[in-house]
Each structure stands twice: as C-alpha cells, then as structure tokens.
Chain A
C-alpha cells in the first residue's frame, strides 16, 4: 500500500491523551503492515506521538510539515 492510499486520521483538534487514544484506535482499524497518515498539531503531539509509534515497533515513513500542522505517515508493524 502506498502512502497515497493510506487511511487518514485528523487529530489536530484533540489534546493529550486523546491524541494518542485516537491514533491507537485508528491503528486497530488498519491491518498489520497497513499505512496510516495522521494529521497532528505542532508542539507536544508531533514531539511525542511519532516517538511512541517508533518505540512500539511501527515504521515511520514520513513526517512532513503542512502549514501549522504535521502529517505523520506510519506503517503498522506486521
């Protein structure tokens, strides 16, 4: 699956810990090896969520700035 056809989750309106809760639930929905693109605010979310995902064994494919926010693309661990 390419990043272009990834499921998309927008958590720019959420605050911690609901940011990670929404990510957790969206990752439940994509199968192992599936790709999820997460739109998140600058600051705490982009500082912590990509690191958490990496620590849990998921693969970070891209972290890109999108105006005030960031797009984080992750491949769920197999």
Chain B
C-alpha cells in the first residue's frame, strides 16, 4: 500500500532524507518492533519508534508505574501512577501516533514465553533492567534469529550494542555469565540520571530504524561505552566467540534458560 498524503506530510522531515524516501517510509511502516521493558530506555525508544511511524510496536512489561519511575521513564506521567506500564505506554503511543498498532505483553519475559512473544517481530529493543533479563533477551533473540539492540545504563554511564544473529557477536560472547548477585549495584543503589537513559534509549531507536531501512553501519561488533559526565563515547571492538553458549557453534550452544535473578543494570 502506498503512503497516503497525510502520511507523506506527517513523515516529510524523514522522507526528505535520501536514505529514507517514500520506499524507506513504507519499510518503516511495515516494521514490527518489540520493546522489552517500558522503563528508562524503553520510554524514548517507544516514543521515537512510534513517532517515526513503525507500523507495529510491541511492549513487554509486567510492572506498574511507580512515582520513582517518573524521573526518567518519560512515556509515563503522573496520572498513570499505579497503572500497568504496558497500558500507560500503549496509551502514550496511540496518543502520539494513532497510525501505530500497539501490542501489549503484560508479562515478565521468561525462557518459556519468550519464543512465543518474539514471533513475528523484525527487531527488539532491550530496555530491561536486570542482568538475568538482559541475558534472556539476548539468548531468545539469537535463538529466534531476531536482531536486537542492547543497552545497559547506570549512573552517568551507558553501553550500547546491536546484535544481528549470524553477523557478529552477541552479548553473551563477551559478558559470558551474569555477575554474582550483589557484586554490581542496582540502579536503586547507584542511581541514574534521566537523560542518560534518554540518550541511550534514543540511540536504540536509531539503530532499529537503520535496521528496518537497511542503511548505514549498524553497531555490530562494536560496543559503545557512553560517559555522560565527560560526554564521551568510546568504542570497543568485539568478535563472535565460536564457543559462545548462545550464538556459538552448535556443539557449544545451550538451550534457552532463565538466569538466576541478579542485580539490576540501570
């Protein structure tokens, strides 16, 4: 289906880009993207993906909106306190762009439900806040052959990596196992400044749009380290580990399983 005049006008500032054009906008509209975690990272990711006209946006979160969320989770607002985050996020997305179909997954992602939830999505944003969830998102996306954009944030710092199964390393290739519980402070202990989440979540949305458009160079095999205090980006090159339990050669792979709950990473 070709774009309507209203769509052409609405998305004109990105259609005008040579890397997008009408054909690119149609690819964005055909896109189906799942955001796991409607929190500090998921908020800007969801809003920018919806604003860009991604046709179907999924939200997976089992939590309710709490007053301590609002300092950084900008998709939720004060009247949403106590509501399920998937409901609050879905309303915000529809309010921003009624042309986007929102799919709500009001559950905690687990090894048993992940394959079903991931079915049909073209890309995933990891907006989770625990190591256990981050490893699960990684393993489930690799097993389902779905590209995803990782981010983890704490304090003034953040990390970013795009994982395209079969085309580079995954998160487990270098962070082999979650750290022992208690060895890394949770975000409740260490704190987080809202714009750090905003910056990294926005970059996740940018990577997803590049994925859908097939343009540019994805952050595959390059872990970006962001330091908000010095406002600097550093890059670490990474290679796929053939012995990786998630994406390695068949004899090294382990079946999808839940990790023990550990500390949170944002």
CA distance A21 to B22 in the complex (A): 8
Pick the residue among B12, B13, B21 that contacts A28 (CB under 8 A).
Answer: B21
Interface string of A1-44 (1 = CB under 8 A from B): 00000000000000001101110110111000000000000000
| Extra contacts besides A24-B16, A28-B22, A56-B18 (18): CB < 8 Å | A17-B16, A18-B8, A18-B9, A18-B12, A20-B16, A21-B8, A21-B15, A21-B16, A22-B8, A24-B18, A24-B21, A24-B22, A25-B3, A25-B8, A25-B21, A25-B22, A27-B21, A28-B21
Number of A interface residues in the complex (CB < 8 A): 11
- Establish whether residues B21 and A17, one from each chain, have CB atoms under 8 Å apart when the complex forms: no
CB neighbours (8 Å) of A27 from chain B are 21
- In the complex, whether B261 has a CB less than 8 A from a CB of chain A is no
CB neighbours (8 Å) of B107 from chain A are none
- Establish whether residues A17 and B22, one from each chain, have CB atoms under 8 Å apart when the complex forms: no
- Establish whether residues A17 and B23, one from each chain, have CB atoms under 8 Å apart when the complex forms: no
CA distance A18 to B18 in the complex (A): 14
Interface string of B14-46 (1 = CB under 8 A from A): 011010011100000000000000000000000
Chain A, Cβ-Cβ closest to B11: A21
CB distance from B6 to the nearest CB of A (A): 12
